[in-house]
Chain A
Amino acid sequence: QSVLIQPPSASGTPGQRVTLSCSGTSSNIGTNTVNWYQQVPGTAPKLLIYSSNQRSSGVPDRFSASKSGTSASLAIRGLQSGDEADYYCGTWDDSLSAYVFGSGTKVTVL
């Protein structure tokens, strides 16, 4: 079981806004910054968001993220078919002395 909790799936129609959540504890999200990764099936993960709310180079501003307390969220505005992928949150856990990932959310564009 993953240390960070993410809903297994999310969906929306093209153009809609979708918000993904990532829930942790005081020893991980509550203390450290959160990163978000996008993984299209069959490919390597790609960094989407770093330091909780900073878009990685080349990532469109349709993607935004925030962190509050022990939770983080990723929003995708103007959903496109190319956004279909698995999205993982990740951060360092001070208690485990390990980097931890969420279980991932599969985004489907209807």
Chain B
Amino acid sequence: QVQLVQSEPEVKRPGASVRVTCKASGYTFTLYSIAWVRQVPGEGLEWMGLISTYNGKTKFAQRFQDRVTLSADTSTTTAHMELRNLTSDDTAIYFCARVEDYSGNSDFDPWGQGTLVSVSS
């Protein structure tokens, strides 16, 4: 079955970077893009960006453009999201999700289980 499995929770200090991993299985990796969405505890969903696993092209929400790097390794069918210069406001659950259409006008299905990133001094 189609599945996205994410890496374990992380605890980071302010100013550090975090890398979250999303391992895909059950489908042809390069036929779908991967989106990243975060959710601050108790709040709503926020789209961060999108990567085409076919050619590595990326799109970002403006507020994350300078701090996020998305990558995809086709040999291991794994996508990565790196967020730099962390602050306490980045404490959130980070989700990856499969996307059919790189244009963005597409649904997210399925989702990974989420990775909690906690930022604290």
Contact = CB atoms under 8 A, between A and B. Distances in A.
Interface of A: 2, 32-33, 35, 37, 39, 44-47, 50-51, 56, 88, 90-92, 96-104
Given A90-B108, A96-B62, 15 more contacts: A2-B44, A32-B105, A44-B95, A44-B113, A46-B109, A46-B111, A50-B107, A91-B105, A92-B106, A97-B59, A98-B62, A98-B104, A99-B47, A99-B50, A104-B45
Q: Size range of the interface on B?
A: 20 to 34
Contacts of A51: 107
A101 B60 CA distance: 15
B35 interface: yes
B52 to A, nearest CB: 14
What secondary structure prevails in chain B residues at the interface with A? strand
